[in-house]
Amino acid sequence: MLKRSAKGSYILLDLPYEGKALPGQFFTITTSLGPYIPRPFSVYDLKDGKISFLIKSGGEIEKFLDRAPVIMNGPFGNPLPELKDPLLISGGVGYAPIHFYISKYGFGELVAGFADEELFDFVDIPGSSVSVFDPTTPIEIVKFSTLENIIACGPIEMLKSVKKALGQRSLYLIMEEKMACARGMCEGCAVMTSDGVKFVCKDGPTFKASEVDLEWTYL
């Protein structure tokens, strides 16, 4: 089932699923008509025999979702650690794994950044959280937090800012990279870590901020 936001910029895709998944893991999705390469999406919610994914409109997969049966594989990746009273930080659709984490483990503080109110009105945000809208960024708020355990997911520039401001704490980053196989075979989602090159799909998608080089590019 597809649910679209008010202006159609975002989609919640609900699929029947009786299996298991943990916060931080992702699935690959395509349809019987395409796209040829499945797309990775973090779990937004999982309950009552239904799994949900938050999708930003405009991608190739969108034109197939209404026309053909969905093919889903997973879960892939390593789950997030269960932390004590964590500060959770999200940007845009990076809120998806944060939402799933909250539903399973709760949180200490949450700062969620949105480009506009359309996405804010579309997703479930806890009442005790802080939401900010462009041009205000989450980093302008989270730098005042005193919490030690932190999880962040969002655009790479946001992750860089979070690491710069809070990297001395116990900070985990949920990485977003393009990938094809989701098994580390195509090497399309490489990242440099203190232990050498790793892959977001099979070694992540979560990494300790102290271990990953966000400035590195795979040539």
For residue 94, CA distances in Å to 19, 41, 42, 70, 158 come to: 23, 10, 9, 22, 11
Tokens for 21, please give them.
């998944």
Question: pTM for this one?
Answer: 0.95
CA distance 100 to 114: 17
- 171 within 8 A of 88, measured Cβ to Cβ: no
CA distance 13 to 51: 8
- Residues 6 or more apart whose CB falls under 8 angstroms from that of 196 comprise none
- The whole-number pLDDT of residue 65 equals 92
- The whole-number pLDDT of residue 131 equals 97
pLDDT per residue rounded down to tens, the chain (219 residues): 899 999 999 999 999 999 999 999 999 999 999 999 999 999 999 999 999 999 999 999 999 998 999 999 999 999 999 999 999 999 999 999 999 999 999 999 999 999 999 999 999 999 999 999 999 999 999 999 999 999 999 999 999 999 999 999 999 999 988 888 888 888 889 999 999 999 999 999 999 999 999 998 765
CA distance 32 to 47: 25
- The whole-number pLDDT of residue 177 equals 83
- Any idea which architecture 2-76 has in CATH? Beta Barrel (2.40)
